[in-house]
Amino acid sequence: LYTSFAVLGVLQSIKTDHGPAYASQRFLQLCTTWGIKHITGIAHSPTGQAIVERAHQT
């Protein structure tokens, strides 16, 4: 993420799935330190996350 910050600037929000990499204390600390709002899942569509994961074959 630090490389993307250098190119794009610090993000206002990051939208991810509920994967373990994005649920870790370390990631939460990064978001808190940089003032980034962390959004998970697809709120308006309960099956939306499954569709995305199917497309990515995860």
The domain ranges of the chain are: 2-56
- What would be the CATH architecture of the domain defined by 2-56? 2-Layer Sandwich (3.30)
Q: What pTM, to 2 d.p., does this model score?
A: 0.63
Cα distances (Å, whole numbers) of residue 25 to 29, 31, 49, 50, 56: 6, 10, 22, 25, 25
- Cα–Cα distance between 2 and 6 in angstroms, integer? 6
Q: pLDDT per residue over 28-58, tens digit each?
A: 999 999 999 998 876 666 676 677 677 766 5
Quote the pLDDT of residue 21: 82
